[in-house]
Amino acid sequence: MSRAPAASIVLSFADARRVVEQQAALIHASCIHTGETESVDLLAAAGRVLSERVTADLDLPPFPRSTRDGYAVRSADLSSLPATLEVIGEIKAGETLDRIPANIAGGEAASIMTGAPVPAGADAVVMVEYTSPPHHPGEEHRVEITRRVAPGENIVPRGAEAREGATLLDRGFRLNPAAIALAASVGKSRLRVFKRPRVAVLTTGDEIVDVDATPGPTQIRNSNTFSLAGQIQQAGGEPVLLPIAPDELHRLRLFIAEGLKSDLLLLSGGVSMGRYDLVEQALSEMHAEFFFTGVKIQPGRPVVFGKCATHEKPATYFFGLPGNPVSTMVTFELFARPILEALTGQSPHNLLFLHARLRKEIRTKTGLQRFLPAILSGEFDQAEVELVPWQGSGDIAATARANCYIVIPPDRDCLAAGQWVAVMLR
């Protein structure tokens, strides 16, 4: 590893992503064992990452459960159709045990509702659609069945979903609505989760002014801090917004030192090759370790990744993200998000792509892996995608209209209309 910005470390996208994933795995392994945790109410647990196992407190389901409205039967009674059976009772969901028929004998059936317990003796449920009432007076307690069922059909056996004591959700799982429902089903009104990591955001540049300021003729408002804050929150972190850092080495180092007190530092701007791009120099003077100082992608080529020790902490990871707004957002998703997710305690996962047909031809140059703003439309096998007209990586308006990025491999200079292309959702 290099500690001088002069020793440029420019990687392919695949290699850079591999470096990030390796570091994320190390972070996750450490977090699982030593990460700070807290107990939260179930309603507040959505999006948080479990620091405990959630286990079944009883068999799921705790009784053989009907999955259909119909009749609980012995499947052998339906060898000859139509079959007429004696209805000996009705079972609704939540029925008490004393109201459930003790046993379904040969030639008998019980009317049953979805979610209700299947009585002993019955080995299948016939859907109500395949039954009809008797045709003659005095046969009100009989049912005619017109379709066979296999043993076990329309029944979930006791314990089929999980046995008592089985692990339902493991540590490192990020809680989605289904997981919240599962925790509720086993009586977990509170869950222990990892604390949200604090992520410092430091935007640099003399041309940047605060959002509520009136920019001068050559200035722009600070948008990157707020796009990054939104991305941090979506990934499970807590953004810590630092003041805008000027293009002055000593003051930049002070701001960086403040940012390194957090769990992760994201810098925006100051990582290109200009005279006043001072981020790498400042970090190098602080004895930072660089994993890479550039990646062969568009947008976002001058992205920096490393870690730096301070008096307070043995090492804090940092990213120097390009200052152009689209580059900032893209490089966060590709590289910073896995590190942040690992800091939340979340188990590592691969980068996922969808595929869609290209509406219009794309021509470009080879050599860089490209992630270009686009609009995905249609559904199922009719999904289509096309580039959003944009003016380069500073065009926030075009990116705001986009809902995905088209991914173009580095060895392709032309993608024909109608071909399937990889798409990364925003």
Structural domains present in the chain = 10-36+196-343 (3.40.980.10), 65-156 (2.170.190.11), 354-425 (2.40.340.10)
Model confidence at 349, in pLDDT bands (50, 70, 90)?
confident
Preceding peptide of 217 cis, ω within 30°: no
Share of the chain above pLDDT 70, in %: 96
- What is the spatial distance between Cα 286 and Cα 266, in angstroms, rounded to a whole number? 16
pLDDT tens track for 196-241: 999 999 999 999 999 999 999 999 999 999 999 999 999 999 999 9
Of 128-142, 203-217, 392-406, which range is least confident? 128-142
Give the pairing type, strands 131-132 and 142-145.
antiparallel
pLDDT tens track for 353-391: 999 999 999 999 999 999 999 999 998 889 999 999 988
pLDDT tens track for 58-94: 999 999 999 999 999 999 999 999 999 999 999 999 9
Provide the pLDDT for residue 2. Answer: 40
C-alpha 122, offset from chain centre = 42
Counting Cα atoms < 13 Å in the Cβ hemisphere of 400 gives 7
Residue length, the chain?
426
CB 173 within 8 A of CB 47: no
Stronger pLDDT, 228 or 310, i.e. the higher one: 228
Residues 201, 206, 209: CA angle, nearest 5 degrees = 65
Which residues face 119 on adjacent strands? none
Is 149 a residue whose pLDDT tops 70?
yes
Model confidence at 97, in pLDDT bands (50, 70, 90)?
confident
Amino acid at 93: A
Stronger pLDDT, 2 or 136, i.e. the higher one: 136
Residues 133, 135, 141: CA angle, nearest 5 degrees = 50
Average pLDDT of the chain to the nearest whole number = 93
Give the pairing type, strands 108-112 and 83-91.
parallel
Model confidence at 272, in pLDDT bands (50, 70, 90)?
confident
Provide the pLDDT for residue 3. Answer: 44
Q: Which helix (H) or strand (E) holds 27?
A: helix 13-34
Provide the pLDDT for residue 135. Answer: 67
pLDDT tens track for 33-66: 899 999 999 999 999 999 999 999 999 999 999 9
Provide the pLDDT for residue 275. Answer: 63
Is 174 a residue whose pLDDT tops 90?
yes
Average pLDDT over residues 288-306: 96
- What is the spatial distance between Cα 325 and Cα 223, in angstroms, rounded to a whole number? 7
pTM: 0.87
